[in-house]
């Protein structure tokens, strides 16, 4: 054991000490381990996708998009994801609000229920939706009388996306609401502001970054969703075929380059979003 004091980085004040070398080696060992782990498990697969998709320039990309329903699939994915994001941004904030601000029996249960999509397999979610909203199912048959079909239409896709991403905005907004000082809202109330005005001017600005962060996460999650959509949508090319299912079909047929081109497009979109979210939400956690 060295008599010299050490800083946490292991730098010794002595001119040469074995522990300095040891510390440096250990640092490099750990860092090397992390690099090999992330390199092998994440970087290599992603590199494989990108090089396959764009290895020969934009050829694979163009071939993939030339398939008649490719663009439709991408557009359908983006539109339904955007819609689900908006819906869950609003409903998520609302749910977070009543979970934080209200007292009622079963509040804990509701809170846990909201988190259920985080734990339950997406395929099971899809099956659950079919058992209720499918063509021969209770609510499905009921809605059919009004001409509304849920299963095997974009409505089903939207529903599946909303269910699967339900907790995302809630979990971003809830902690922020918890930390909000009610004093400001009380002040606004005493000054005569109604509940809605108070919400808009006092609460909303504070939770907006959380909502935006949650919304971005939701969107990124939606455009990659497979398990629930593949069961509920019917995967009809040009009508209800989404990008992830399309990539699945291409991959299954070993049309890897085309699948990779589409996949790269989709994950670039979500990766940018996830990065932005990380920045936004980190700012929120004070």
Partner 1 sequence: MSLSFKPARWAALFLAPILALSACGSGTADGATTCNGLPDQPTLSFAAYSTPREAYGKIISAFKSKWKDEHNDQEVIFQESYDGSTLQASRVVSGYEADVVALSLGPDVDQIADAGLITHDWTTEADGGMVTTSVVVFDVRPGNPLGIKDWNDLTNSGVEVLTPDPASSGGARWNLVSAWGSALRGYGGVAKDDEAGATTLMQGVLGNVLAYDSSARKSIQNFEDGNGDVAITYENEVLTAQAAGKEDEAVYPPSSVLIENPVTVVDKNVDKHCVREVAEAFVEFLHGDEAKQIFADAGYRSTDLATAQKGGGDFPAIEDLWDVDEFGGWDGLTEKLFGDAGIVTQAQAG
Partner 2 sequence: MSAPAAPATGPAGGRSRFARGALAATAIAYVALLLLLPLIGIVTKAFQPGISIIGDTLSRPEVRHAFLLTGIITLITVAVTTFFGLVVAWVLVRQRFIGRSLMNAVVDLPFALSPVTVGLAAVLLFGTGGWFTDFVSARGIQVLFALPSMVLVTIFICIPFTIREVVPVLEEFGLDEEDASRTLGASIWQTFRRVTLPNIRWALLYGVALSTARSIGEIGAVLIVSGTISGKTETATIYIFSALEERLEAQAHVVALVLAGVSIVLLIGIEWLHRRNELARSNT
55 is in the binding site of which of partner 1, partner 2, none (Cβ under 5 to 8 A by kind)? none
125 is in the binding site of which of partner 1, partner 2, none (Cβ under 5 to 8 A by kind)? partner 2
Site for partner 2 in 154-213 (CB under 8 A): 159, 162-163, 166, 175, 178-182, 185-186, 189, 192-195, 198
Any bridge partners for residue 6, and if so which?
12
Residue 137 Cα distances to 23, 141, 148, 152, 255, angstroms? 65, 6, 13, 13, 37
Instruction: Give the closest residue to 226 by CA, choosing from 42, 60, 77, 72.
Output: 77
Binding mask 241-260 for partner 2 (x = CB under 8 A): --xxx-xx--xx-x-x--xx
Q: Which is nearer to partner 1, 111 or 249 (CB)?
A: 249
Query: Which one of the spans 94-102, 113-121, 162-170, 252-260 is the region binding partner 1 (CB under 8 A)?
Result: 252-260
Site for partner 2 in 212-231 (CB under 8 A): 220, 223-227, 230-231
At 6, give phi and psi (nearest 5°).
Answer: -125, 145
Site for partner 1 in 67-96 (CB under 8 A): 67-68
Q: Which residues bind partner 1 (CB under 8 A)?
A: 1-2, 18-19, 21-22, 25-26, 28-30, 32-33, 36-37, 66-68, 135, 151-152, 234-237, 239, 241, 249, 252-255
């Amino acid at each position: 054991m060295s008599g010299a004091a050490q800083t946490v980085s292991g730098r010794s004040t002595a001119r040469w000490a074995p522990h300095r070398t040891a510390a440096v080696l250990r640092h490099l060992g750990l860092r090397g381990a992390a690099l090999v782990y992330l390199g092998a498990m994440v970087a290599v697969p992603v590199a494989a996708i990108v090089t396959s998709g764009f290895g020969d320039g934009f050829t694979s990309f163009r071939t993939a998009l030339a398939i008649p329903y490719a663009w439709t699939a991408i557009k359908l994915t983006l539109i339904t994801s955007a819609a689900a994001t908006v819906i869950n941004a609003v409903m998520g904030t609302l749910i977070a609000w009543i979970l934080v601000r209200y007292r009622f029996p079963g509040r804990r249960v509701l809170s846990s229920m909201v988190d259920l999509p985080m734990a339950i397999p997406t395929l099971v979610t899809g099956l659950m939706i079919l058992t209720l909203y499918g063509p021969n199912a209770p609510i499905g048959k009921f809605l059919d009388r009004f001409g509304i079909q849920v299963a095997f239409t974009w409505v089903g896709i939207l529903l599946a996306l909303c269910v699967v991403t339900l907790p995302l905005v809630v979990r971003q907004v809830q902690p922020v609401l918890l930390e909000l000082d009610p004093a400001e809202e009380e002040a606004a109330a005493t000054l005569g502001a109604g509940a809605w005005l108070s919400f808009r001017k006092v609460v909303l600005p504070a939770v907006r970054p959380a909502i935006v962060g949650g919304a971005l996460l939701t969107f990124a999650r939606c455009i990659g969703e497979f398990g629930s959509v593949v069961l509920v949508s019917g995967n009809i090319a040009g009508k209800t075929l989404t990008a992830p299912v399309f990539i699945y079909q291409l991959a299954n047929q070993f049309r890897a380059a085309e699948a990779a081109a589409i996949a790269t497009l989709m994950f670039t979109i979500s990766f940018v979003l996830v990065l932005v979210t990380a920045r936004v939400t980190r700012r929120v956690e004070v």
